[in-house]
Amino acid sequence: MLSVIRAVEAGAVTMKGVKEATGLSRLKIERALNALEKQKLLVREGQGFRATVLPEAGPPNRQCGSCNACCDILEVAAAEKPVNQLCRHWHAGTGCTIYDRRPQMCRSFVCAWLQGHLDDDWFPAKSGIIVHFSQDAVNVTVDDHCLNRWREEPYFSRLSEWSLKGIRRIGNRGYATLVVSGADRFLLLGQTIVPEPTLFGTAFVPLTAETFRFWRAKSPEHLQRLHERIAEIERIRLEFGSCTIPDEPDDDPYPPYRPALLRSNLS
């Protein structure tokens, strides 16, 4: 279901579009769409549909206009273009000089502003920030001339809000709001910024409505162990109303958090 909703959020609005984006069978997609519809996360409109959780689409006829940010900021491996370096195929006054044979990624790329999910503060040529949706993530890439812009307003609040919506809707696993800022990578968990998340994943529990304690996994087994311990923390929270969580962000969440220890902790 996760891959289907990300495909819808990324702009797929028909069965054919979702099929192309996910590679899933029609039956599986139909089941996922039905489940999303029941959860009021998706609305059918004629032959198509749209996700209800992201902001309503804005003007449908937006154009890139003066913007060439994705030919400058994003990495396009097929064009041997590194991140934050203007593509060698881009010429001022001409634009893309290999337009008819440009790589597939260039053909299919549509940023969230162009899709109408963001207002004009986010116009990439002005903001220096490109947002695009992929199956399991909101991807944010920042121009190296303004590496900290994403931490400023109105950007940070909107990114935090999206991150929270994703976490609340999809749960603790598999969802990400990822920021690439120069050589640095960040994962956003509401208002909590996780620097340099690992490829194995980040486990987290809420501390407040908008902040989280996190642990970066060092292996798939570590991630599994973290999720088991977090499940235990959540059970204890449910039973006792609170649970002690260790301070060290990179260590496993060790005791004291088992019920017996917690009881003695509370007494």
Applying CB under 6 A, which residues contact ligand SF4? 64, 67-71, 76, 79, 81, 87, 89-90, 96, 98, 102-103, 106, 109-111, 113-114, 124, 130
State the minimum distance, in angstroms, from the CB of residue 112 to ligand SF4: 8
CB of 169 to ligand SF4, least distance (A): 25
The minimum distance between CB 133 and ligand SF4, in angstroms, equals: 12
| Nearest CB to ligand SF4, comparing residues 52 and 134 | 134
Please state the closest distance from residue 85 (CB atom) to ligand SF4, in A: 10
What residue type is assigned to position 192 of the chain? Answer: T
The answer to whether residues 243 and 207 touch, using CB atoms and an 8 Å cutoff, is no
Cα→Cα distances 263→52, 182, 238, Å: 43, 47, 14
Tokens of 148: 């900290």
SS3 content of the chain, % helix, strand, coil (to 5): 40, 20, 40
Of the two residues 5 and 76, which places its CB atom closer to ligand SF4 in the complex?
76
13-26 burial code (b ≥16 CB/10 A, e <16): beeebbbebbebee
| Choice between 66 and 267, CB closer to ligand SF4 | 66
Cα 244 from chain centroid (whole Å): 29
Q: How far is the CB of 105 from ligand SF4 (least distance, A)?
A: 7
- CA geometry: angle 175, 145, 137, nearest 5 deg: 10
In angstroms, what is the minimal distance from the CB of 9 to ligand SF4?
16
Q: 84 or 202, CB closer to ligand SF4?
A: 84
Helix axes 15-22, 2-9, angle to 10 degrees: 120
Q: Which residues have CB under 8 Å from 117's CB, separation 6+?
A: 54, 55, 57, 58, 131
Query: Cβ closer to ligand SF4: 54 or 230?
Result: 54
Closer residue to ligand SF4 in complex, CB, 44/126 = 126
User: Can you tell me the distance from the alpha carbon of 185 to that of 141, in angstroms, rounded to the nearest whole number?
Assistant: 10
Report the nearest approach of ligand SF4 to the CB of residue 20 (Å): 19
Closer residue to ligand SF4, CB minimum distance, 41 or 105: 105
Q: Rounded to whole angstroms, how far apart are CA atoms 154 and 61?
A: 24
Any idea which residue has 């400023």 for tokens? 152
